[in-house]
Structure 1
């Protein structure tokens, strides 16, 4: 596998679609909430989208990782439970989270320890791998998919033609333009709502309001949406922040699944302790108290009681029983209805 130099990275590009032209060769990139204004020769915050002589060039025709996993690992709990999803990713991110779980690919060009490996590929080859492994879904992840949306759409066009479902695992730092661009080709949208504090989002490298707006827009546009909050001790685990997140999500829709997941020491926060199970229980109880119908605890398989399971909010019957990323029992049919009371469970079940 070749090592990707900056020159080589720039050679694996094509003209981008997500931008507005300005005078004197300048342009505004609209792939993420930064809306970088770029003069000729300038790179965006993400480092991988850049202005070459008045033309926006964007990543194309490579992957930095391909992996077949249970769809529950993304995590999507209300989409094709018990099936496999093929994950693919590129390089780069518009955030700089000190606790990033995928820093090895997302922080390329910011951190010398991050990978610069890549593999040239085509949409057909990616979909061939998915079909060969029996995957039902193809998911853009590992780096921030919004900033590589042109490539993702090409992959998803091929995926749709072969009957595959498509998904994003994203930080949600989007724009109306990028959501409209991916809307015809994207089914599932997982967004990390990292905290509920504007100053903290600024330190992460993003805009808090842009993330909240994106979550609302994703829901309104009809993507299947699930939210994840990685609960980090001493960072975002206060009752105030957890209440803020839960109230916001319940206002958008009480049917949005909220995953409260455990942090494990990683990257630049390797001395921060892991999240106690008790904190996950507290976060879940807060979510349920604010009216959210589906709140799941994650990253501590077998330690969180029944909070990995899907319950009918009407009769409280267990519909999907899980342990970690493994579905043990699924009583929910393709119509997404509780077999006991007939209540409809929102999701993408077929």
Structure 2
């Protein structure tokens, strides 16, 4: 682990998301921890650190990068049926005991992750974007670890992606600051945010604060980003009807058009004694979301077991617009103008202007990038 930390510290660049304080200290503004760092000190994320009064941040590498369906992120209203090049680095500003990407997110805290310096691939933004173009991807997504803590690197990639005509997205815990949202906004199209629970004590257990995540959902939407929200429904942690009602009502207060994904937990990382989420629990959560007034509620991770909750319907005439099974789009009927073909109602989202080219059916195996 020491060797991995040493190599990651070398793969850095001067940061942009910080303020200078007295005595060569810097305050990082990439996430809501707002770590105040003395020279030689590193942030809670362990990848942003103060070197002689300069904030150094991760840059110039990926731990993993692969092309797979946009539905896997999950996004339901961002170019359905398309592929995304998804890349990730190392580190996280949370320490969730149920993390399903813990090998990359917690690699600097967990020797059992067995990630070595040899697993890192040095790469440029242009190389990543070129791979996306060669692979036919329509979007570039920062995920796997927490993207907020590597935002300077993501912004460099997203600038290249936009120039190449690709969409860009974050898959994030949403523990952001207004500063990082404003920094990303010119280069970011969509933001998928994990809303893990509606209790402050639950967020403290994970290493954050609830209000900062709620503020991020509102702030990202106010900045014009396309926002979708995911809740991993965990038995005994956040699956009570009372909490799901509170969560749904909050989303409705922001926008009834935010797609809400309720996804199934499976035992992982340090939470191995908790049972997997039953399909009935996801269906109950979705019913609560719909009754609260959300227009687009999806249940994921259990393909074929949640009835119509994988599909997209027009909230006005109830026409079925997109039929899905798992990560596969089976039918697509949204018009090039982004409307329902039956009643003409606009459907919020980021849609293709060439619906006849939407891929239907199987998508093959993920394509891993090598540089």
Same fold (TM over 0.5): yes
Q: Which residue of 2 aligns with 1:82?
A: 81
Q: What is the CA-CA distance between 1:5 and the residue it aligns to?
A: 2.2
Q: Which residue of 1 aligns with 2:327?
A: 325
Unmatched segments (≥5 aa) in structure 1: none
Inter-partner Cα distance in structure 1 for 2:135 and 2:26 = 41
Q: Which residue of 1 aligns with 2:123?
A: 121
- Secondary structure class of the residue paired with 1:5: helix
Q: Is 1:207 matched up with 2:213?
A: no
Q: Which residue of 1 aligns with 2:9?
A: 10
Q: Which residue of 2 aligns with 1:273?
A: 275
Q: Which residue of 2 aligns with 1:246?
A: 248
Inter-partner Cα distance in structure 2 for 1:29 and 1:231 = 31
Inter-partner Cα distance in structure 1 for 2:326 and 2:187 = 29
For structure 1, which segment, 262-271 or 275-284, has the greater mean C-alpha deviation from structure 2 after superposition?
Answer: 262-271
Inter-partner Cα distance in structure 2 for 1:79 and 1:238 = 30
How many residues of Structure 1 are paired with residues of Structure 2 in the alignment? 348
CA distances 1:276-311 after superposition (whole Å, capped 9, x unpaired): 111001000000011000000000001001100000
CA distances 1:198-248 after superposition (whole Å, capped 9, x unpaired): 001011001111111111100111100000000001110001110111000
Q: Which residue of 2 aligns with 1:22?
A: 21
- Secondary structure class of the residue paired with 2:187: coil
Q: What is the CA-CA distance between 1:4 and the residue it aligns to?
A: 5.7
Inter-partner Cα distance in structure 2 for 1:75 and 1:92 = 21
- Secondary structure class of the residue paired with 2:19: strand
Inter-partner Cα distance in structure 1 for 2:158 and 2:87 = 11
CA distances 1:52-94 after superposition (whole Å, capped 9, x unpaired): 1110000000000101110000011001110000100110000
Inter-partner Cα distance in structure 2 for 1:336 and 1:271 = 44
Q: Are 1:256 and 1:292, in contact at CA under 8 Å, matched by a contact in 2?
A: yes
Q: Which residue of 2 aligns with 1:298?
A: 300
Inter-partner Cα distance in structure 2 for 1:5 and 1:175 = 28
CA distances 1:27-66 after superposition (whole Å, capped 9, x unpaired): 1100001000111111100000000111000000000010
Q: Which residue of 2 aligns with 1:196?
A: 198
Inter-partner Cα distance in structure 1 for 2:110 and 2:232 = 22
- Secondary structure class of the residue paired with 1:210: helix
1:180 corresponds, among 179, 182, 199, to: 182
Q: Is 1:263 matched up with 2:262?
A: no
CA distances 1:152-199 after superposition (whole Å, capped 9, x unpaired): 000011111111100000000000000000000000100000011000
- Secondary structure class of the residue paired with 2:253: helix
Inter-partner Cα distance in structure 2 for 1:346 and 1:325 = 20
Q: Are 1:255 and 1:346, in contact at CA under 8 Å, matched by a contact in 2?
A: yes
Q: Is 1:167 matched up with 2:169?
A: yes
Q: Which residue of 2 aligns with 1:337?
A: 339
Inter-partner Cα distance in structure 1 for 2:336 and 2:60 = 35
Inter-partner Cα distance in structure 1 for 2:258 and 2:209 = 22
CA separation of 1:4 and 1:170: change in aligned 2, threshold 3 A = farther
Unmatched segments (≥5 aa) in structure 2: 353-371
- Secondary structure class of the residue paired with 1:25: coil
- Secondary structure class of the residue paired with 2:191: strand
Q: Which residue of 2 aligns with 1:38?
A: 37
Q: What is the CA-CA distance between 1:129 and the residue it aligns to?
A: 1.2
Q: Which residue of 2 aligns with 1:227?
A: 229
Greater than 3 Å deviation, 4+ residue runs: none
Q: Are 1:20 and 1:29, in contact at CA under 8 Å, matched by a contact in 2?
A: yes
